[in-house]
């Protein structure tokens, strides 16, 4: 098949490109060339998806069997892409998110759960928010129709080349050694999916010309937060690395060292009503369609190997210029704050 990837070089797009090439597909990528290098073997077309003339140059003289859109953040982006591609491709996969559902993360979601009321014609350049993914979905459906559109509502993606900094932060924290602040309930279950498993499942559906919507993440109950941290410790930990568990309430108490859930200690989801459904998305439909999720230990090992061999993380500045930085961590608690909390709750 001939496949167009809108994005195609960074994390999820890279996983799609790698899997598609391995299966023998012809792959075109369309991106600005700023986030990462394209894989060898793809036809790389440079351009900005927000510019109609760049998209027109992309489609000039080209057609594809399918499009995979991993990069739409604004409904206007999805709308202009779908409009230009509807006569040049037979099938459109939009990677959306569980954020598109109004009930997430407070309640369990399924494919028929309500979406945020964001219209397809939302003006461009909106402040990024969870509702925008729902508008992207509506924009694609308007131009490609339900019979030619596939929406994958992604859960939390992890794995090699991760650009969200969650699993890398925990692995690198374990490697620094010493006592590690482990928050909350070690028995609380999680839902995370290896980016490679997501891409493989998406391509399976694409090649079968499957339409519809699939919540795409690991089935609930496969992994606990305790297993997550212990696995990270076993794979990357120093000789003296040990976990120090602290319950939710003291970490959430008002004060100068109050800890922000999810970000300061990545993926810590306290037992709060507003987060009751964060790890309970219903994956029954995806499992029935063949979704396979590898063990977390395999993902953690591969991610740690990538972290050890990649060198310093590469980032871009506001103008899109590439530069080398210290290991890029977008999440994570300050070491001094962690030490204060460990001392306070020892």
Q: What is the pLDDT of residue 313?
A: 57
Count of structural domains, the chain: 2
Q: Within 10 Å of residue 114's Cβ, how many Cβ atoms?
A: 11
Alpha-carbon distance of 324 to 75, in angstroms, equals: 32
Strand partners, 150: 93, 212
Query: Last residue of some domain: 154, 182, 212?
Result: 154
Q: Which structure tokens are listed for 290?
A: 């063949």
- Identify the pLDDT of residue 312: 54
Plot region of 314 (φ>0 → left; ψ -120 to 50 → alpha; else → beta): beta
Which pLDDT belongs to residue 171?
98
99 plus 236 within the same structural domain: no
- First-residue to last-residue Cα distance in the chain: 58
CA pair distance 108, 36, nearest whole angstrom = 35
* 317 and 172 in a common domain: yes
CA dist., res. 145 & res. 212, Å (int): 10
User: How far is Cα 176 from Cα 240, in angstroms, rounded to an integer?
Assistant: 9
Residues 237 and 338 in one domain: yes
Is 85 contained in some domain?
yes
**Which residue carries 């995979």 as its tokens?**
68
Q: Are strands 322-324 and 314-316 parallel, antiparallel or unpaired?
A: antiparallel
Based on the fold, state whether residues 149 and 171 are members of the same structural domain. no
pLDDT at 346: 78
Dihedral sign (CA 3, 4, 9, 15): negative
251 φ/ψ angles, rounded to the nearest 5 degrees? -75, -25
pLDDT of 326 reads 32
Q: Do 252 and 111 reside in the same domain of the chain? A: no
Using CA atoms in the order 70, 74, 80, 86, what is the torsion angle rounded to 10 degrees? 40
Structural domain includes residue 297: no
Same domain? For 103 and 49 the reply is yes
Pair (82, 170) in one structural domain = no
Is there a domain that residue 241 lies in?
yes
Tell whether 261 and 126 lie within a shared domain. no
Residue 152 pairs with which residues in a beta bridge? Answer: 95, 214
What pLDDT is recorded for position 15? 97
d(CA 10, CA 140) in angstroms, rounded, equals 22
Assess whether 232 and 171 both reside in one domain: yes
Secondary structure (3-state) at 157:
strand
Q: At what angle do helices 75-85 and 132-144 cross, to 10 degrees?
A: 10
**Domain housing 108:** 2-154
b or e along 291-326 (b: 16 or more beta carbons within 10 Å of the residue's beta carbon)?
A: bebeebeebbbbbbeebeeeeebeeeeeeeeeeeee
Each residue's pLDDT, cut to its tens digit, for the chain (346 residues) gives: 999 999 999 999 999 999 999 999 999 999 999 888 999 999 999 999 988 899 999 999 999 999 999 999 999 999 999 999 999 999 999 999 999 999 999 999 999 999 999 999 999 888 877 789 999 999 999 999 999 999 999 999 999 999 989 999 999 999 999 999 999 999 999 999 999 999 999 999 999 999 999 999 999 999 999 999 999 999 999 999 999 999 999 999 999 999 999 999 999 999 999 999 999 999 999 999 999 999 999 999 999 999 999 865 554 333 333 333 333 446 899 999 999 999 999 7
Closest by CA to 17, choosing from 33, 41, 34, 35, is: 41
CA atoms of 153 and 97, how far apart (whole Å): 4
**Secondary structure of the chain: what % helix, strand, coil (to 5)?**
35, 20, 45
pTM tops 0.85, yes or no: yes
**Shared-domain flag, residues 77 and 144:** yes
| Same-domain status, 83 and 143 | yes
Q: What is the 3-state secondary structure (H, E, C) of 112-156?
A: CCCECCCCCCCCCCCCCCCCHHHHHHHHHHHHHCHHHEEEEEECE
Please tell me the predicted confidence (pLDDT) of residue 315: 45
Contacts of 121-129 spanning 24+ positions with Cβ under 8 A: 121/75, 121/79, 122/74, 122/75, 122/76, 123/76, 124/50, 124/74, 124/76, 124/77, 125/74, 125/76, 126/74, 128/73
The verdict on 122 and 269 lying in the same domain is no
- Within-domain flag for 210: no
């Amino acid at each position: 098949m001939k496949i167009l990837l809108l994005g195609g070089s960074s994390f999820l797009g890279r996983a799609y490109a790698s899997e598609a090439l391995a299966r023998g597909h012809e792959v075109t990528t369309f991106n600005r060339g700023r986030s990462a290098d394209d894989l060898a073997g793809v036809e790389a077309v440079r351009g900005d998806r927000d510019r109609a003339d760049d998209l027109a140059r992309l489609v000039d003289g080209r057609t594809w069997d399918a499009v995979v859109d991993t990069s739409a953040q604004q409904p206007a982006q999805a709308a202009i892409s779908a409009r230009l591609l509807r006569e040049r491709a037979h099938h459109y996969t939009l990677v959306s998110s569980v954020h598109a559902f109004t009930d997430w993360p407070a309640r369990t979601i399924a494919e028929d759960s309500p979406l945020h009321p964001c219209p397809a014609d939302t003006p461009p350049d909106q402040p990024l928010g969870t509702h925008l993914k729902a508008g992207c979905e509506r924009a694609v459906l308007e131009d490609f129709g339900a019979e030619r559109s596939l929406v994958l509502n992604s859960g939390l993606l992890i794995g090699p080349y991760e650009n969200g900094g969650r699993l890398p932060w925990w692995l690198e924290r374990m490697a620094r050694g010493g006592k590690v602040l482990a928050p909350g309930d070690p028995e609380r279950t999680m839902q995370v999916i290896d980016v490679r498993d997501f891409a493989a499942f998406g391509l399976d559906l694409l090649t079968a010309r499957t339409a519809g919507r699939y919540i795409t993440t690991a089935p609930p109950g496969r992994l606990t937060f305790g297993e997550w941290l212990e696995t990270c410790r076993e794979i990357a930990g120093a000789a003296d690395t040990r976990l120090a568990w602290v319950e939710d309430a003291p970490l959430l108490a008002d004060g100068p060292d109050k800890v922000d859930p999810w970000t300061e200690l990545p993926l810590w989801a306290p037992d709060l009503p507003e987060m009751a459904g964060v790890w309970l998305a219903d994956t029954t439909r995806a499992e029935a369609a063949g979704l396979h999720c590898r063990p977390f230990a395999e993902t953690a090992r591969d991610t740690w190997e990538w972290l050890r061999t990649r060198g310093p993380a590469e980032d871009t500045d506001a103008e899109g210029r590439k530069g080398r930085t210290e290991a890029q961590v977008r999440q994570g608690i300050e070491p001094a704050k962690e030490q204060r909390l460990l001392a306070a709750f020892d």
